Amino acid sequence: MWYHRLSHLQSRLQNLLKGGITCQALQQPNFKSLFPIAIHWHHTASKSLNCVWQQLEDHFELQYADTVMRFDYVWLRDHCRSASCYNSKTHQRSLDTASVDLCIKPKIIRQEETTLFFTWPDGHVTRYELDWLMKNSYEGQKQKVIQPRILWNAEIYQQAQVPSINFQSFLETNEGLKNFLQNFLLYGIAFVENVPATQEHTEKLAERISLIRETIYGRMWYFTSDFSRGDTAYTKLALDRHTDTTYFQEPCGIQVFHCLKHEGTGGRTLLVDGFYAAEQVLQKAPEQFELLSKVPLKHEYIENVGECHNHMIGVGPVLNIYPWNKELYLIRYNNYDRAVINTVPYDVVHRWYTAHRTLTIELRRPENELWVKLKPGRVLFIDNWRVLHGRESFTGYRQLCGCYLTRDDVLNTARLLGLQA
């Protein structure tokens, strides 16, 4: 009986707080008389600190930096950063999570300035800075963008006048490399100029920021329009906008293109910011955006040409988002390689086709198309998880080389240079 009354009183108190009752008012005798059962609120206020917290039956509640956060007690014990629980040199957990009592609750909670101390039943003390809890809470992460980006159409990108990076600066200075990576992270594409037109120099360029990802196409690929592989890319035909390797379980993260020679006409490269197009869908038809982020599709690559025999299958939705903040991080769009749709029932299929059409219309808007001419000495890096590419048909002899890069390593290089990635 007393527990139900306590829950009722807590609910009343929370509603009053939402209505503007201050924590100082809670201490007044007439207010205390309304709540004969103690509800342990704690309040700290100063010019630089405003913190309210309470210990509830199954979780700890903290209001700080204009955010209400809730923490499970097992989580608070599991994330202890004391020397016996966490190795600060290796940044790895030492505590055996399976040893933590799933019904654990702190015996004592106290606050000193910006630090909270939790004393557990066995006497172990865990300390947390308020800013650390804010940064690492679910509520804090919901407000945080993992990867800052500038979404663009052709006009936006051209007006930004994003500078290319010189080959020597890219290779020899951290400043040049950092500027390149900053542009790449923001826009999903970046250029390096004055690169010697050889496969060896292109490889050297790529290795500056990442390990090269070896795939069924090899480590460095070099191709002309001789149809030496079972792929439309190895022809002179036009290619519609698409992302590569959708038929991999993890599509390649970054691709590098260098046109070593072209004796003919045409062959311009098409670039479209898939995230910009997806954002338009989100604004105009949010239910279609959601459907594209939930329906899993198979993509397939079957090759039997010469000595190359491959059968690759990748599965995933067109749009991939982080579930906690709804941030888009990967678009998997390739109408050439999409396999038979057999992963959802018929009534969902038609709604998916409608959503796919809406996205395709955005991707094909002329104002969203950025056309560039690749030429010897100019190397293009593309975020294959974001930017779609294609090309117009061409005539004559054309040589391209390039490779795929491991996404983790590119982002690792960016973080080591102080960039958010």
Going from N- to C-terminal start, the domains of the chain cover: 41-142, 154-416
Distance between CA atoms of residues 284 and 300, nearest Å: 31
Residue 29 has pLDDT above 50, yes or no: no
Task: Give the pLDDT confidence score for residue 47 in this predicted structure.
Answer: 43
| Confidence at 40, pLDDT banded by 50, 70, 90 | low
Q: Taking 90 as the threshold, does the pLDDT of residue 5 lie above it?
A: no
Whether 120 and 79 have beta carbons less than 8 Å apart is answered as: no
Token readout for 134 is 């804010």
pLDDT at 224: 76
Q: Would you say residue 69 has pLDDT above 90?
A: yes
Whether 275 shows a pLDDT value over 70: the answer reads yes
Contact 269, 257 (CB under 8 A): yes
- Is the pLDDT at 153 greater than 60? The verdict is yes
- Cα diameter, the chain: 90
The pLDDT value recorded for residue 351 is 97
Checking if the pLDDT of 16 tops 60, the result is no
Compute how many other C-beta atoms are within 10 angstroms of the C-beta atom of residue 376.
Answer: 15
Of the candidates 185, 174, 153, the one whose C-alpha atom is nearest the C-alpha of residue 270 is 153
- Measured in whole angstroms, how far is the alpha carbon of residue 150 from the centre of its chain? 14
Percent of the chain with pLDDT strictly greater than 90: 81
3-state secondary structure of 71: strand
- pLDDT band at residue 223 under the 50/70/90 scheme: confident
pLDDT of residue 50: 85
Give CA–CA dist 179/234, Å, rounded.
33
Lowest mean pLDDT among 12-26, 186-200, 214-228, 313-327: 12-26
β-bridge pairing 165-166 and 189-193: parallel
List, in sequence order, every beta strand (DSSP E) within 174-234: 189-193, 212-213, 220-223
Q: Which fold has domain 154-416?
A: Double-stranded beta-helix (3.60.130)
Rounded mean pLDDT, 81-105: 97
pLDDT of 247-274, one tens digit each?
999 999 999 999 999 989 998 999 999 9
What pLDDT, on the 0 to 100 scale, is given for residue 200? 97
pLDDT at 238: 87
DSSP helix/strand/coil, 408: helix
Residue 22: per-residue pLDDT: 39
283: CB partners within 8 A, 6+ apart: none
Residue 278 has pLDDT above 80, yes or no: yes
Could you give the 3-state DSSP secondary structure of residue 351? helix
Q: What is the pLDDT of residue 253?
A: 96
**pLDDT attached to residue 133:** 98
Residue among 173, 244, 256 nearest 210 (CA): 256
Taking residues 288-308, report their average pLDDT: 95
3-state secondary structure of 285: coil
Summarize the confidence of residues 73-102 as an average pLDDT.
Answer: 97
Average pLDDT over residues 320-331: 96
- Whether residue 146 is predicted with pLDDT greater than 60 in this model: the reply is yes
Does residue 312 carry a pLDDT above 50? yes
Prediction pTM value? 0.84
Alpha-carbon dihedral angle through residues 217, 221, 223, 229, given to the nearest 10 degrees: 0
Residue 264 region, left (φ>0) first, then alpha (ψ -120 to 50), else beta?
Answer: left
CATH for 41-142, among 1.10.3080.10, 3.40.470.10, 3.90.550.10, 3.30.2020.30?
A: 3.30.2020.30
> Across residues 65-94, what is the average pLDDT?
97
